[in-house]
Structure 1
């Protein structure tokens, strides 16, 4: 259904014009001279048929020109420059209302109203032309048997009402088709937003699980390995008189613990076995993120001030994820068309990020449901904290504002990584024991 309507919206008017012209040629073939060219040249209904056909063809692409062609036909007939309608071809006028249907379908608000008003005026002129003895002998059961005033007074309002009724039916049909397509478009946008939100929710759950696992590894494994290294080295240095086998065993224990400590750090930091780090978003990816959310019907305005400073990799991930969460929340809670303002301020001792989004209007409910604490804001605060900064979030009048600060001096060891846990602080423990990756490999 959708492909057919899409085709008809763009090409339906020209196709309808060809069908309209062809059917009239077939219907009037008996009154035309042999041969299409001679027939159109001699038939009294040629000019009305041609002008109305062109009016239908131009309705979807050039609505003003379409209305102008109908007006040109009526003006030419009033001036006796174009032959009037007769009992057998007056229905050509209905083609003007077919053009109105396409204008109603494809046009916008003001054009629709202008076309509707113009066709009401056209219907009045058509009724006058069909009933006036100066231009014809009446149509159907509206036979011209008296002066203009008498005919208009007796039958004018009936014929005018009939033409307006046909025009209203065509206008309503076009309007219903337009509303149907707009409704389908809104449903598609809603489905896209729901899919995006579901994907974001899954990503959030995965990140939280990674955060928990990484913290457990750091708190348990790193501490235990550091204690093993310290005790093994301490025992080895304080007990030089121990047998060589014991000293060698203690040295092997300390070396293995150092190697395990470095390997644990690499696992926590998300490094693969082949040594290639998993791809992580950077500040340059925010533009792509904004474009994608704009396709999800957010109105995003982004700006920045000051001179941009290069942030560490983990800090860039933290900023990207905070912006992503803010935009996702704006779409989730504000809905389609929500306006969001992003501003990156590089002028201070760190990057200050300002995000302001419109809040959805809330209607008072008889039994309001209790508010549920979301996981997005605490997660953003945690990311900012791990990046060495801070974050505040809350409603401010008709907007929801998020302000985050990421200092330039913060090291990578305090920043957030893709898993949300950040690059865990294992370096101090390693430095305190004079342990490096190279030493661990040497002792391993």
Structure 2
């Protein structure tokens, strides 16, 4: 029944309706001067009726935004009072147009169509009322009857046109408001999608960095613990590797947090030049990577491809450290239109990476982001990661 509107709009509507009443009331008296002269003995009663009808119609306009249904009912009541009192159509009827606009703009679906029907019926009734009441004294012959009918038809057309235009303008405003709400909802959905993608990217980068660094740290710590008694120098070397790896991971995490805080993703990212450092960390963790690059890159690959290759190798080698048994084979083939990556290492059935783990999901996302694909799974006694990344598509 009542729409939730701000107090500011309610106050503005009430003030606007009061202003409309104060403006149209003098115009109503001026237009009805001849009618008042016929009521010379009861002018105070006539003025009172004018004021009552004006208050009813503009009172409906005051609550039109708050409750279009209530305003429509009050407007019909005011129109009935006006016709019962025999008052002519005048300036105070502008309040009806305000109500019809409100039904088109803010009314429910039922009130919307009720307003449209009211515009048609009200216009026809107004024309009939004008013809019968105000031309009734002229109906003395066929000519006067025809003249009254023509006047009534003309006034009905004018009333219907004015009322339908007011209702149609409200309907147009409803379309505008719905379009704005749709745009706002679309913008919010796009913002949420962008934020979700950013969270996924940060989580993926965090996993790649932290998981790899912790795998190296754990492997070195285990080796240092076993070698501490017999070969203290190896333990010291392992501790140095742990410190270096931890510092690098801390630096990368700080970079990711800075990007997250400033909503930027343009910070320095790993490239092919950093692969040697990655392989060195794997060696220090006790896993020997056997690396084959054939053919070599024909030029400088795009930055997105370099980052994807680095992160895929990083996660695959991390899995080799965690679940592998011995050496790991790394093969890169830099073809003119694509790069093919293969990483394989021996694993036991109990220690193979889980297909639904975050690391495998992150590698697939890395490949998909540059238009490629990635497959990972057991092949005999090995766990193999295969990725194909298109170079031409990434450049485009």
What TM-score, normalized by structure 2, do the two folds share? 0.50
What are the within-5 Å matches in structure 2 for residues 176-187 of structure 1?
176-187=172-183
The answer to whether the Cα contact below 8 Å between 2:17 and 2:61 also exists between their aligned partners in 1 is yes
**Cα distance between partner residues in 2 of 1:39 and 1:208:** 85
Q: For each residue in 1:370-424, what CA deviation from the matched residue of structure 2 results, as whole angstroms up to 9, or x when unmatched?
A: xxxxxxxxx99324999xxxxxxxxxxxxxxxxxxxxxxxxxxxxxxxxxxxxxx
Q: Is 1:49 paired with 2:54? A: yes
User: Shift in Å at residue 264 of structure 1?
Assistant: 7.1
Alignment match, 1:231 = 227
Q: For each residue in 1:97-138, what CA deviation from the matched residue of structure 2 results, as whole angstroms up to 9, or x when unmatched?
A: 221102211112111101221232222221122111xx2249
2:87 equivalent among 73, 84, 89: 84
Q: Is 1:222 paired with 2:218? A: yes
User: Shift in Å at residue 21 of structure 1?
Assistant: 0.7
What are the within-5 Å matches in structure 2 for residues 85-164 of structure 1?
85=88, 90-132=90-132, 135-137=133-135, 150-151=146-147, 153-164=149-160
Alignment match, 1:63 = 68
User: Residue 74 and residue 195 in structure 1: after superposition, are their counterparts in 2 closer, same or farther (change >3 A)?
Assistant: closer
Q: For each residue in 1:248-284, what CA deviation from the matched residue of structure 2 results, as whole angstroms up to 9, or x when unmatched?
A: xx2x7637856976997899799x99xxxx9xxxxxx
Q: Which runs of 5+ in 2 are unaligned?
A: 258-353, 362-396
The answer to whether the Cα contact below 8 Å between 2:124 and 2:157 also exists between their aligned partners in 1 is no
**Cα distance between partner residues in 1 of 2:170 and 2:44:** 31
**Cα distance between partner residues in 2 of 1:146 and 1:46:** 34
1:201 equivalent among 197, 203, 224: 197
Q: What is the SS of the residue equivalent to 1:59?
A: coil
What are the within-5 Å matches in structure 2 for residues 21-36 of structure 1?
21-28=21-28
What are the within-5 Å matches in structure 2 for residues 26-425 of structure 1?
26-28=26-28, 42-43=46-47, 45-78=50-83, 80=84, 82-85=85-88, 90-132=90-132, 135-137=133-135, 150-151=146-147, 153-233=149-229, 235-236=230-231, 250=232, 254=235, 257=238, 381-383=356-358
**Cα distance between partner residues in 1 of 2:355 and 2:46:** 80
**Cα distance between partner residues in 2 of 1:258 and 1:215:** 18
User: Residue 67 and residue 182 in structure 1: after superposition, are their counterparts in 2 closer, same or farther (change >3 A)?
Assistant: same
User: Residue 146 and residue 269 in structure 1: after superposition, are their counterparts in 2 closer, same or farther (change >3 A)?
Assistant: farther
Q: What is the SS of the residue equivalent to 2:52?
A: helix
Alignment match, 1:300 = none
**Cα distance between partner residues in 1 of 2:355 and 2:184:** 30
User: Residue 76 and residue 264 in structure 1: after superposition, are their counterparts in 2 closer, same or farther (change >3 A)?
Assistant: same
User: Residue 96 and residue 231 in structure 1: after superposition, are their counterparts in 2 closer, same or farther (change >3 A)?
Assistant: same
User: Residue 49 and residue 226 in structure 1: after superposition, are their counterparts in 2 closer, same or farther (change >3 A)?
Assistant: same
User: Residue 63 and residue 149 in structure 1: after superposition, are their counterparts in 2 closer, same or farther (change >3 A)?
Assistant: farther
Higher CA-based Rg: 2
User: Shift in Å at residue 210 of structure 1?
Assistant: 1.5
CA RMSD of aligned residues (A): 4.4
User: Residue 200 and residue 214 in structure 1: after superposition, are their counterparts in 2 closer, same or farther (change >3 A)?
Assistant: same
User: Residue 157 and residue 181 in structure 1: after superposition, are their counterparts in 2 closer, same or farther (change >3 A)?
Assistant: same
Q: What is the SS of the residue equivalent to 1:45?
A: helix
User: Residue 149 and residue 121 in structure 1: after superposition, are their counterparts in 2 closer, same or farther (change >3 A)?
Assistant: farther
The answer to whether the Cα contact below 8 Å between 2:213 and 2:249 also exists between their aligned partners in 1 is yes
**Cα distance between partner residues in 1 of 2:236 and 2:43:** 104
User: Shift in Å at residue 199 of structure 1?
Assistant: 1.8
User: Residue 157 and residue 385 in structure 1: after superposition, are their counterparts in 2 closer, same or farther (change >3 A)?
Assistant: same
The answer to whether the Cα contact below 8 Å between 2:105 and 2:170 also exists between their aligned partners in 1 is yes
Alignment match, 1:18 = 18
User: Residue 144 and residue 117 in structure 1: after superposition, are their counterparts in 2 closer, same or farther (change >3 A)?
Assistant: farther
What TM-score, normalized by structure 1, do the two folds share? 0.46
Q: For each residue in 1:181-236, what CA deviation from the matched residue of structure 2 results, as whole angstroms up to 9, or x when unmatched?
A: 22212222222222222222122112111111123213434324433443343x25
